[in-house]
Amino acid sequence: MQMPFQLTILGSSSAMPTSLRYPTAQVLNVLGRFFLIDCGEGTQHQIRKNKISFGRIDHIFISHLHGDHFFGLIGYISTQVLLGRTKDLHIYAHSELQRYTQFQQDFLGMGELGFRLVFHPLNFKKPQVILDDVKLTVTSFPLKHRIPCCGFLFQEKEKEPNIRKEQLKFYQIPIREIKNIKDGADFTTEDGEIIPNKKLVIPAPKPRSYAFCSDTAYTEKILPIIQHVDLLYHEATFAESEKEMAKTTFHSTGKEAALIAQKAQAGQLLIGHFSARYKEPTSILKEAQSIFPNTKAVNEGDVYSVVRNQ
């Protein structure tokens, strides 16, 4: 049974919130670890509404410094103080966000927080691994927007296969050989019989991946990074009727998001960051689905499982 890899949508509107949609924010649950992606206004409310524990979020990724993607951050930090947080809180963002956040803390007289804010500056010129541990790799990559902006790729690490216990006993395999077998080796019995590796192991599930493409104009430069991604979120602020507006503001249409998903050979496409001019993003969704049928328009509270791209 695979551990969870799930995305919860907290905000799906563009710059202007509506009565139904909040500015951009998402929480990604990777194997029981929770990551906050962007932090627009109302993020705290949505975290509580979706019954996500504040204490389980130790890493926050801010794609760029337009307000609808980070105006909720200082309120989030303030709440962590009130909750008595002591663990480090890691923030991956433009280097200027540290200075701005410190100004807000000083202005509000917050004093010592009781925990460390650890800032990790993003690279807006080339892809960069920004988080790497035994279970997960997170890579930032440049997008095409009016100001420096990054997307994020979350990838599970490949797991070792499991040994078939009944085969251990049947072939009397010594403990010292288990690591070699997990690494792909065959096993030779005392009688010289070679037992193929595939008879000795249960293959591990293939790793899963999620890519978050925040505010961006259409750009194929991201394709090598997100190729074959299982679940792709790509902004789709406008319908094709507003294509010139999308170009002027360095945003994408639903059709353009779908073209990226198609060329990346993604498993599933999620579109969001809808302009407030659309009461419902029906036209954007239909245009996207005409190119990439496995497309969904996100709503607040939606939960999507990341499923391996077949």
Q: Which residues pair with 61 in a beta bridge?
A: 37, 92
Q: Report phi then psi at 27, rounded to 5.
A: -120, 130
CA distance 264 to 232: 9
Q: Report phi then psi at 118, rounded to 5.
A: -105, 110
- Active-site residue (options: 68, 88, 183, 186): 68
- Is 68 a known active-site residue? yes
Q: How many CA atoms lie less than 13 Å away from 201 in the CB half-sphere? A: 21
CA distance 121 to 197: 44
CA distance 98 to 94: 8
Measured at the alpha carbon of residue 8, what is the angle toward residues 95 and 58, in degrees to the nearest 5? 45
Neighbours of 251 (CB within 10 A): 25
Q: Which residues contact 24 (CB under 8 A, 6 or more apart)?
A: 11, 12, 13, 14, 38, 40, 63, 68, 69, 214, 272, 273
Q: Which residues are catalytic?
A: 68
